Amino acid sequence: MTVFKKKTYYLPGDLIGVIEEFTPSSNVYQENYNIRSKQLGKININYETRAVTIIPKLRVTEVPKVGDEVIGIVDQSQSGLVMVRIKEINGNPVKSEFVGMILLREQQTDRNQRRIIIKLGDYVRAKVVSSLNNVIHLSIKGDHYGVLHTVCSYCGGQVQLSGRRIFCTQCKMLDERKIADDFGKFKNT
């Protein structure tokens, strides 16, 4: 058995050993007769099975998948298109900021239904319905999805629910939003 210099961390592509000595396992790959690291991490060798693994130094950020529930803040809004900066996936905060897209006209099921309104700065809950071409498509269909927290779009004041609309407690303006069933209970941090 060859003696190799054991490093603290292995970089992607670093030589770990040869196929005669070890069996490649997680986060390693075989190139010709050499076993190399796929990502930055520490080496772990199971001497009974001769399996070699790289334990990642950094955890890979969870990527939103179809069916996941996300919470985010609207940071772009154009006619019929809303971009949401995702802050949570299935209740877990994310450090990397993914952006999801809501096509508002696709959220309406009936032509006679009122327009769905989401505005800049609103916190929304949505469901991931597609990731076609690496674009995260979101849906707010259903009572549980929609705006969780907002402020008055006229004066920036605090709002409260008034039926299916929001009412500003300062300027008394009544405004439309697609409200989630638990509107007002969300604590933005």
Burial letters 75-105, b for 16+ CB under 10 A, else e: eebeeeebbbebbebeeeebeeebebebebe
Domain contains 10: no
In this structure, the answer to whether residues 120 and 152 fall within a common structural domain is yes
pLDDT of 127 higher than 80: yes
In this structure, the answer to whether residues 34 and 86 fall within a common structural domain is no
**Lowest-confidence range among 61-65, 99-103, 153-157?**
61-65
Percent of the chain with pLDDT over 70: 87
Q: For residue 44, what are the domain limits?
A: 15-56
Q: In this structure, how many other beta carbons lie within 10 angstroms of the beta carbon of residue 141?
A: 16
pLDDT of 1 higher than 50: no
How far apart are alpha carbons 19 and 52 in whole angstroms? 10
How far apart are alpha carbons 112 and 104 in whole angstroms? 15
Domain contains 1: no
- Does the predicted TM-score (pTM) go above 0.95? no
pLDDT at 37: 87
Number of domains in the chain: 2
Residue pLDDT, tens place only, 36-87: 888 888 888 888 998 999 888 755 557 889 999 999 999 988 878 899 999 9
How far apart are alpha carbons 12 and 162 in whole angstroms? 56
